[in-house]
Amino acid sequence: MIRKLNTESLPPEEYEYIHYHNMFEEQKEEWREKAEEKGRKEGRQEGEEAKNLEVIKGGLEEGLSLTILSKLTKKTIQEIEEIIKRHNLQ
């Protein structure tokens, strides 16, 4: 086995296989890292949306204006109106 690892004793096609296998493993690790980061980012966005929805629901129940809800959620009034329509909150 040790002789096989010596690149001088490998036929070119086996050396090429090892080379491409190593490249693929590196690429696979990069894809995994990117997928994990994307998942974390999407999770944060979903959490932020859920939090904003709860703030808007509670604010509407308390009679807060869209202007105040906009300041609390850092959303535009138009975005808040869309959320209200999408979730049938009024």
Residues 26, 31, 37: CA angle, nearest 5 degrees: 130
Say how far residue 27 (Cα) sits from the centre of its chain. Answer: 19
What confidence tens digit (pLDDT) does each residue in 24-66 have? 999 999 999 999 999 999 999 999 999 999 999 999 999 999 9
Phi, psi for 6 (deg, rounded to 5)? -75, 115
Other CB atoms within 10 A of residue 28 CB: 10
Amino acid sitting at position 54: E
> H helices within the chain, ranges in order?
2-5, 12-61, 66-73, 77-86
pLDDT attached to residue 7? 60
